[in-house]
Amino acid sequence: MADMTPRILAGRYEVGELIGRGGMAEVHVGRDTRLGRTVAIKLLRSDLARDPSFQTRFRREAQAAASLNHPAIVSVYDTGEDVTMDAQGATRHVPFIIMEYVEGHTLRELMHDGAALPIDEATDITIGVLSALQYAHHAGIVHRDIKPGNIMLTTAGQVKVMDFGIARALTETSDAVTQTQAVIGTAQYLSPEQARGENVDARSDLYSTGCVLFELLTGRPPFVGDTALSIAYQHVREFPAPPSAYAPDVPAALDQVVMKALAKHRDQRYSTASEFLADLQAFKHGGRVSAPVVAGGASPEATQVIAPAPVGGALGGGMASFPPPGSGGPPLGPGGAFQNAGILPPTEQVEEEEAADAAKRKRLIIIWSIVGGVVALILIGLGLFALLSGDKEPDPGGQSTPVQVRVPQVPASGTVEDSIEALKAANLKAEEGTPERSDTVELGKVIRFDPRSGRDVEAGSVVKYIVSLGANAVTVPPTENKTQEEARAELTALNLKVAGTTKSVNSPTVAIDRVVGTEPAVGQVVKPGDEIVLLISNGKTTVPDCTGKTQQECSTALQEAGLVLAQFREEESDETEGSILRTEPPFGNTVDQKTPVVVVVAKAADIKVLPNFAGWTEDAARSWLDGAGLSAYAETEPSTTLAAGLVISSDPPANTSVKRGDTVRLRVSAGPGPSSPSPTSVSKSSNQVLFAAIGAVRMLAV
């Protein structure tokens, strides 16, 4: 019978079901039994646990992510190693990371069907990624593997960047994890310098972010290929088409931003995440971007030539690092990461290969010349055959000229039925067009065809038949803002019938019980005796959606909706400062005209970083928390190292960023022995007084 006992790590983390698998780790949903909260548990894969390089990478991820406290970066709560015995009795050390559990989906999952996202959504997601990178780069950390699979979108729409497994400090000049001449990253989002095996910096992350934005806008990465090596080659040597080449709705300004992020040379990209972020926000709010204009739909670098690096020597060259696309290449590493070691051959070997390639190219030129001549003769023969046989001539594109037919005359009867039959007989599709008034064609008969009779059109085309409304046709007059009595009198005078019932509709400007419009609408041509329905204002209007608008734009939208702006009220939020969070009443609600509306605007949250409270007195810790606008409660437990009344630790732990109003739990020593109900009930010995004094000194130092 299977053992149903859950696996417990570090005596407190209960391992649940598998929810994800990556290149070097598995992620399980878990539960922190001590704090009673759901967590995500990342475990190094058992088949890699014995590899020192993967253990180092895994520990590096924990260190990198644990040092970053930002709303757009998945938080790390704890790390450790699970020590187990394998079947042979050997001890295994499997590192683990306890992380924030995020409910949502990765961008890779959201884009599995290859469809592009709406431009506003793609821009907002990229802004979230850049805000995370801005913080990480400021802290000296380069991610090095930005891709859709490492970006999550929560159920609330918040962006979360994760997986710092190959992150590196900006100050490092070499990479102990990366082997000599090894390239680490994911091929579709690899910066040129990563593909060449050079050292990376913050601009490498911005290139990868540009690749992600490109895919969000178009549904495909900037470069695709059969192998990881061929894609990496394109990142180094080829220029991508702008996003608008694949998605025509992408504006020129956004083309400029993406193409600057995808510049081959680092000096021509955005130098910081802040610059990239500023351009995206300028685009979003209709401002001017700093990126250069994309000339002719090509990269601004398209006239430049990247000289190949010397063959042989130190890594960091250009074309010499990669064979031509399609020539195959090393397999992908764990999780699809492109890891190619030892690409550059020795100089002598390269010279021999170049000589062999030159001979091969010469042979190919001769072969293709012969094949080309044969193909040309065949095409000429086919063309002559088509001409002599009297068949349809091929057009310049190699396709048959479409069959043309002539639009027939309207039948003498003029009936709709006969007109439809005449169009079908001419191999055309009949469709009713908009009726028109006519002084010569009686009511209900066909006036003409559109396109007109006698014109040549492609077989199978749609031709509309226009029906006469007669000589006495009436144009529906404007009735807005009139009383019902006034509107009825005017319509009746035109021999139109006014319906006995009316329709109640919202209107931002027309007063209650006044006419908003009619059905059919003003300007429509109708027959005498046709029924007209009056649309009557109910005095209500709809609160417009102000999300994504500036405060001035929101104010204008409210005014146009017939509402009154009461005030802009600030509220702390993780959203961009100054952005509109909501309105009161909410967007979409139906309210009375002239209703006052409060617009709630995002204000940066008051963030505090918790100090290490260990050794502080409970009163001192509470005093600090009160001053920071934080709530606090204490729990006592025995301690053999700290005197009663001194703080052991806090939850959240030291160095965690918290917001005003958050609650912090203090673990307070009750001294040796069973837990006391309160530190105030424990008498203090002389040693305890000494410890309290030390804690007070620490507090003052902080």
Cα–Cα nearest to 45, from 389, 334, 446 = 334
Long-range (24+ apart) CB contacts under 8 A made by 11-20 are: 13/39, 13/41, 13/78, 13/96, 13/98, 15/41, 15/43, 16/41
How many Å apart are CA 129 and CA 127, to the nearest integer? Answer: 5
Lookup result for tokens 């972020």: 277
Return d(Cα 55, Cα 95) in angstroms, integer.
7
The single-letter DSSP state of residue 265 is: S
Distance CA 460, CA 463 (A): 9
Q: For 75-84, which contacts have Cβ atoms below 8 Å and span 24 or more sequence positions?
A: 75/99, 75/100, 76/100, 77/32, 77/39, 77/653, 78/10, 78/13, 80/9, 80/10, 82/9, 82/10, 82/43
Structure tokens of 505?
């509709």
Is residue 145 part of the annotated active site? The answer reads yes
Which phi and psi angles does 402 have, rounded to 5°?
A: -60, 145
Q: Which residues contact 115 (CB under 8 A, 6 or more apart)?
A: 219
Q: What share of residues in the chain are helix, strand, coil (percent, to 5)?
A: 30, 25, 45
The position carrying tokens 């590899």 is 51
20: left (phi over 0), alpha (psi -120 to 50) or beta: beta
Q: Which of these is catalytic: 78, 82, 124, 145?
A: 145
CA dihedral 609, 613, 618, 621 (to 10 degrees): -30
Cα–Cα dist 677/682, whole Å:
9
Task: List the structure tokens of 498.
Answer: 């006014």
Taking the CA atoms of the chain, what radius of gyration do you get in angstroms? 36
Residues classed as catalytic: 145
